[in-house]
Amino acid sequence: MYRLLIVDDEPEIRQGLRLKMDVDGLGIALAGEASNGAEALSLLENGDIEIVLTDMNMPLMGGVQFMEVCRERCPNVRVIVITGYEDFQYARAALRFQASEYLLKPVARDELNSVLKNVTAELNRDRDKAQLEAKTQWELSQYYREMKEQFILRLVRWETGSESTVTDHARRFGLGGWDERQVRFMTLGLKVRDIGHAPDRAPDQFLLPLEMICREKAEDAAGTCEAFRDGHYPGLIHVVTAESVDWLYSFADHLRSEVKRMLGFELGFGIGQSVAGFKAWKDGYLSSLVAWNYADSRLPAETRLQSIDKTSISADEIKVIERYLAKGEYAAFDQAVRPILRLAFTGPAASRVKVIFQLYLALESAASDLLIRIESAEQLWLRPELAYSLDSVDKAYSYLAGIARKIARQREEGAADADVNLIESVRRYIDDHYASDLNLSDMAARFNYHPSYFSELFKKRVGRTFIQYLTDVRMTQAIRLLEETQLSLWDIAELTGFSNASYFSSKFKKIYGISPSDFRER
């Protein structure tokens, strides 16, 4: 809705103009009235006004002088001039100061509304153009890509907010409608076993060029394919697409030839099963990681994983196991794992691999929360052949229990630093999820602490309260957006976790003593 200011020294004319305007139909709101140019300028400086309807012959400051000052101070305001038949010199002034429209008194209702309709249409076009330019700049920015990848990572881990928030963020990041599509994930990485004889050419040295090749190919897909990285698996690149499995094989074959030609390595890849709906992305992503263990197979995931759902671990079972690990209850973890493995080994090999992988991911997550590093020799993503060798319940259990015992041992040895590790994990989580709806109670529950104790511990270790730290992180990101993009305050507020632009602006001014808009214009 656009705000309009009426400027005329005769109250009855102002009243007549008000009554003639179809404000509801035109999407216009009356911002105020002024009896001369000086009053009008004061109102313009103190409020957001897009349209001015002004007479020319007024006391104190007439229309000509008002238009000259208005054009200098408020160049984006649309000015509509109203004057009498005999005032032809005013028509020339209106042209000189680029008035949007020129009306002669007495003004007819239809003529007035027609002119206002033209002006609002022009404002709509300018607004759409500005939004498109801002959107283009935003999408081209590095920050946009980082935020988009963080959003995809939250989807594949289902660490998201409400469904409406997910849908809105998906639209903002060019994924609108993907919730209704069948999608597949593909995991790619250089084959370690192919270069074991050449330690001076370790794959870690070539991850950046591999990533660049993958991203360039994904960008060629024109919005139907997204490439991303997951910090849990630093040696791998992941792709999600709504294209067919044949398209993915063509994509992978092209990458294989490019990587071989440019880097001299063989590229392994695994294609996951088809899934629909953001809530299923976690399963689709996991299936691509499992398929990574079948990197040389040309069979689609459905063939390899056709019976997998009969023996895979349920979401509730995973939560129980993660809770045991988070609380350090490793005896309970051991008791829970054996029955799951026994059931997994009654099914096909693919079922066994997926279950082992799910359990490994739970262990890896627990190790990450405690800042414990899992050795390369134990990492499934780095050694896909390891999954093949775990061909019995005892072997699989021994492998998983060995990692669990290592975590337990390091946890006990570092008990004195447990609180420090906890707070560091909390800070990392906030740094990665500041745009989400975070609060102290949920964070305390996530890390298995009572809210009161968690609050005191956080303040003691960090030197700031939880909400102060969260606000500081969000403000740091907001300042980055203000400096590097032309996003609206509403967009910045949403992308940094603030409830609305008004709250963000007031909080910003309270902390920095300046409004976000003034900060951007410095």
- Do 15 and 118 reside in the same domain of the chain? yes
Closest CA to 455 of 466, 464, 469: 466
Listed in sequence order, the residues at least 6 apart from 354 whose beta carbon sits closer than 8 Å to its beta carbon are 286, 287, 290, 305, 308, 312, 344
- Do 189 and 154 reside in the same domain of the chain? yes
Q: Looking at the 3D structure of the chain, how many domains does it have?
A: 4
Q: How far is CA 28 from the centre of its chain?
A: 34
- Do 264 and 379 reside in the same domain of the chain? no
The domain that holds 117 is classified in CATH as 3.40.50.2300
Whole-number Å distance between alpha carbons of 302 and 513:
59
User: pLDDT tens digits for 426-468?
Assistant: 888 888 888 888 888 888 887 777 888 889 888 888 899 999 9
Phi and psi angles of residue 229, each rounded to the nearest 5 degrees, phi first: -115, 150
- Do 292 and 150 reside in the same domain of the chain? yes
- Do 271 and 358 reside in the same domain of the chain? no
Q: What is the pLDDT of residue 293?
A: 65
- Do 79 and 167 reside in the same domain of the chain? no
Alpha-carbon distances, residue 24 vs 32, 148, 291 (angstroms): 16, 38, 59
The domain that holds 171 is classified in CATH as 3.30.70.270
Give the gyration radius of the chain's Cα atoms.
31
- Do 131 and 161 reside in the same domain of the chain? no
Q: What is the pLDDT of residue 21?
A: 92
Segments forming the whole domain that contains residue 511: 418-521
Domain boundary among 282, 306, 330: 306
Q: What is the pLDDT of residue 97?
A: 59
DSSP state at residue 438: -
Q: What is the pLDDT of residue 185?
A: 94
- Do 486 and 352 reside in the same domain of the chain? no
The domain that holds 429 is classified in CATH as 1.10.10.60
Phi and psi angles of residue 203, each rounded to the nearest 5 degrees, phi first: -60, -25
Domain boundary among 413, 431, 462: 413
- Do 438 and 512 reside in the same domain of the chain? yes
- Do 290 and 361 reside in the same domain of the chain? no
User: pLDDT tens digits for 327-384?
Assistant: 778 788 888 899 999 988 887 776 787 788 778 877 877 777 666 667 766 776 656 5
Whole-number Å distance between alpha carbons of 510 and 439:
21
| Burial group, residue 125, by CB count within 10 angstroms (0-12, 13-18, 19+) | exposed
Closest CA to 186 of 234, 139, 241: 241
pTM: 0.52
- Do 166 and 104 reside in the same domain of the chain? no
Domain boundary among 88, 121, 138: 138
Whole-number Å distance between alpha carbons of 32 and 288:
61
Q: What is the pLDDT of residue 40?
A: 93
Under a CB-based contact definition with an 8 Å cutoff, are residues 241 and 221 in contact? yes
- Do 183 and 330 reside in the same domain of the chain? no
Q: What is the pLDDT of residue 317?
A: 82
Low-confidence ranges of the chain (pLDDT < 70): 85-98, 136-142, 158-162, 192-205, 293-312, 315, 350, 369-373, 376-377, 380-385, 387-388, 411-419
